[in-house]
Structure 1
Amino acid sequence: TIGKLEPSYVIRKFLDAQRIHNLTAYLQALHLQSLANADHTTLLLNCYTKLKDSAHLEEFIKASVDEVHFDVEIAIKVLRQAGYHSHALYLAEKHAHHEWYLKIQLEDIKNFQEALRYIGRLPFPQIESNMKCYGKILMYHVPNETTQLLKDLCTNFAQHEGGKKANPEEFIPIFANNPCELKNFLEHMIQVQNDSPQGVYDTLLELRLQNWAHERDPQARQQLQNDVMTLLKSGRFKNVFDKALVLCQMHNFQKGVLYLYEQGKLFQQIMHYHMQNNQYQEVIEACKQYGEQESSLWEQALGYFARKEEDCKEHIATVLKHIESKNLMPPLLG
């Protein structure tokens, strides 16, 4: 009947008579003669799955590329819908339908490890796009392995000529619920690639400040403080001075605030900071340290101590002695 009768007529006859075996044979013949359309492929695969005819199903999908007489994507969809996930995966991998392969692994089988392995074997641009697409779910289920792949992707991707590199800033959102892995990733980036984008440094500074603010163990807190200061002194915050300052202020990181004030030659703010915190000795030290560059600091210190209700005679004497020796204030009129 092939070539003489319309396939739709023959199919309808077989369906009406519930002759599934005859229908299957007819559909197979249509495919062999490359006369099948997408609907015929769907119907044939449904026949195989309904008959649980795994042998013919495997023979059909495992045909060599030259012998494929059907729409691969349609076949993948039908098999997936029928629950034949391994068969659908086979087709997706064989015919490089990466998106379908990953959908089935991640959404149906939930084999996150295998999905990540598969992504890691793709060409660079596809690894990049798939990690942006599936990075969050992979980070949730296989955080260490996902972090490692992102490290590789954002430094020198060894598998590819020219050492292509992705922009690490673009992957920071993937770590939204994984601060430890994010810290690991960012620290790796600045260690391996000190010209990493500014967003890497900004985010790492914020993370280190958060860790410092929440740490209760004195020894660990001291180490975290040192880590923050090392980052601030890296020279990477000169162009984003205000942002770094705001982050330090938000976390009440005094040492960082004072360091940044000093770097920005904001001596008035340093004085004001110590005055607000009633740090008398630090007020004197600030005058000594920065008074040469801004002599009005001594006058401010004198006014500050004079207004204090408590006994500040010793500090006032120190300030006055310096003012007189340097002749910083005009003599009072008689």
Structure 2
Amino acid sequence: MAKGSRTDRSKESSKQEMAAPEHTALLLKCYTKLKDFTTLEEFLKTTPPQQYDHATAIEVLESAAYHGLAAEVAQKVGRFDDYVRISLEQFKNCSTTVEFLRSLSKAEAGRILLRMGRMLMRHAPKETIALVRHVTDGAAEDFQGPSIDELLPVFVDDPSQLEVFLRSVLLDEGCQLPHAKAESLFPTLLELLVKSHSIASDASEASRISADIMRLIRQYPSDAALANTLMVCQTYGFVDGFFYAAEKLHRHQLLMHWCFEHKDARRLLEVCKRCGPDQSLWVQALSFLASPESGGGHLEEIQEVLRHIEDSDLMPLLLVIETLRHSEEVTIGDVRPYLQAQYKRLVDALATSRGKSSQALGSVFGTWGCTWGILGLQGCPSVFAEFSRLKGGFIGSKTYTALLCEFSLSV
């Protein structure tokens, strides 16, 4: 009888314009202790929400394990955060919850996503990604919802889903964001893609991701974006992106050092060819390829560099010979075409100034004498004897030019 009287008094108190929290708690606790579910349900359905304290009602119902009633009250009184939380924690109604959030304003749905999105993402990632796209999609001038940046914490527990989401925003369907906003998201997606490339399970997957990365990089050609590309690709070892960004930023020496460090002769020549006016790169390339640090086995590349040096007249002959002297594998036969071409150039120069033949011939002998000394050809009797015969004088009907040409054939 006492319990009934107390319940009646609490019920009367609840009929006032707004019951105090303690009155609401007392009344609902009485109902729950009596296990009078029907009366409790009727009270919640028939009593106007303004006549009881909402937060207290939800708390009491949850503590008594009346989760369904608590969710109904939360939805009825507009406490949507509590409704979503109860739906996810107690009923795992992910699809229903997503649809409910879609029915709210984008600003309200975004606010709730910031609180509950991580849980929703764990249980329904595909639906949650679609919801995030929905609440962040809107015209810039009148959009009231959250920005993509604001909702990125939703993905903090699942970077793979963040990659899927940012792909859908920046790559898959064509980017609809303002360029400045898209560029601010670009480094995040780039890092995720490069990480995925580094752990790709097979060559086919790696090739597909690589193509996506390069397509993404080319969409953002500003210096700031390229600087981000350079840093990310260098950090995670994505070589194609690193080379693309460094070349666009004219960081040629960075590329050269990479080739030196990795002993990559093929890419070294590509850098020299693609980096245009900076002819000093070819000189550096020859010096590296001829050095023991290159690891050897680069005769073909050395010959290609020599052809370019010859065509562009980049280095004096003696400097080339001095550089090649450091190689343990380059022989006179390997560079014969280059030496013959240089010799012919000297001969042609002499032929145009016959009046200065003695002086010019002495210059030629001096140059080639130094060359043989550097190459150590004194130990080659046949070649050195021919050189000595030529140097000893040009006799009979042979001109010095003919003798020089004859000698060049013996080189």
Cα offset for 1:312?
4.8
The amino acid across from 1:86 in the alignment is G
Judged with a 3 Å threshold, the aligned counterparts in structure 2 of structure 1 residues 34 and 186 are, in CA distance, closer, same or farther, namely closer
SS at match of 1:206: helix
In 2: Cα distance, 1:235 partner to 1:36 partner? 60
Give yes or no for the alignment of 1:299 onto 2:279. Answer: no
Cα offset for 1:48?
1.5
Cα offset for 1:214?
1.1
Q: Which has the larger radius of gyration?
A: 2
Give yes or no for the alignment of 1:235 onto 2:220. Answer: yes
Are 2:117 and 2:128, in contact at CA under 8 Å, matched by a contact in 1?
A: yes
Judged with a 3 Å threshold, the aligned counterparts in structure 2 of structure 1 residues 236 and 200 are, in CA distance, closer, same or farther, namely farther
Instruction: Tell me the alpha carbon deviations over residues 169-205 of structure 1, each in whole angstroms, 9 at most, x when there is no partner.
Output: 2222322333332222101111342534434211211
Cα offset for 1:313?
5.0
- Alignment partner, residue 45 of structure 1: 28
The amino acid across from 2:167 in the alignment is E
Judged with a 3 Å threshold, the aligned counterparts in structure 2 of structure 1 residues 322 and 104 are, in CA distance, closer, same or farther, namely closer
In 2: Cα distance, 1:77 partner to 1:269 partner? 63
Moved more, 141-150 or 70-79: 70-79
- What is the percentage of aligned positions where both structures have the same residue? 30
SS at match of 2:101: helix
Are 1:112 and 1:141, in contact at CA under 8 Å, matched by a contact in 2?
A: yes
In 2: Cα distance, 1:293 partner to 1:37 partner? 83
Give yes or no for the alignment of 1:255 onto 2:240. Answer: yes
In 2: Cα distance, 1:99 partner to 1:306 partner? 70
SS at match of 2:51: coil
TM-score (norm 2): 0.68
Give yes or no for the alignment of 1:323 onto 2:306. Answer: no
In 1: Cα distance, 2:270 partner to 2:68 partner? 73
- Alignment partner, residue 67 of structure 2: 85
Are 2:217 and 2:241, in contact at CA under 8 Å, matched by a contact in 1?
A: yes
Instruction: Tell me the alpha carbon deviations over residues 96-149 of structure 1, each in whole angstroms, 9 at most, x when there is no partner.
Output: 122332332233444343333333222222211111111111101111111110
Q: More helix per residue: 1 or 2?
A: 2
Judged with a 3 Å threshold, the aligned counterparts in structure 2 of structure 1 residues 133 and 237 are, in CA distance, closer, same or farther, namely farther
- Alignment partner, residue 61 of structure 1: 44
In 2: Cα distance, 1:31 partner to 1:280 partner? 86
In 2: Cα distance, 1:278 partner to 1:235 partner? 31
In 2: Cα distance, 1:102 partner to 1:311 partner? 67
Judged with a 3 Å threshold, the aligned counterparts in structure 2 of structure 1 residues 123 and 284 are, in CA distance, closer, same or farther, namely closer
Cα offset for 1:35?
8.7
Are 1:201 and 1:236, in contact at CA under 8 Å, matched by a contact in 2?
A: no
In 1: Cα distance, 2:165 partner to 2:31 partner? 48
Judged with a 3 Å threshold, the aligned counterparts in structure 2 of structure 1 residues 267 and 64 are, in CA distance, closer, same or farther, namely same
- Alignment partner, residue 155 of structure 2: 175
Judged with a 3 Å threshold, the aligned counterparts in structure 2 of structure 1 residues 72 and 266 are, in CA distance, closer, same or farther, namely closer
Judged with a 3 Å threshold, the aligned counterparts in structure 2 of structure 1 residues 263 and 86 are, in CA distance, closer, same or farther, namely same
Cα offset for 1:216?
3.3
Moved more, 294-303 or 25-34: 25-34
Are 1:27 and 1:36, in contact at CA under 8 Å, matched by a contact in 2?
A: no
How many residue pairs get aligned? The number is 312
Are 2:110 and 2:151, in contact at CA under 8 Å, matched by a contact in 1?
A: no
TM-score (norm 1): 0.82
Are 1:169 and 1:197, in contact at CA under 8 Å, matched by a contact in 2?
A: no
In 2: Cα distance, 1:166 partner to 1:26 partner? 47
Cα offset for 1:240?
3.3
The amino acid across from 1:328 in the alignment is L
- Alignment partner, residue 5 of structure 1: none
Cα offset for 1:56?
2.5
Judged with a 3 Å threshold, the aligned counterparts in structure 2 of structure 1 residues 27 and 315 are, in CA distance, closer, same or farther, namely closer
Cα offset for 1:212?
1.4
The amino acid across from 2:129 in the alignment is T
Judged with a 3 Å threshold, the aligned counterparts in structure 2 of structure 1 residues 141 and 289 are, in CA distance, closer, same or farther, namely closer
In 2: Cα distance, 1:165 partner to 1:261 partner? 38
CA RMSD of aligned residues (A): 2.8
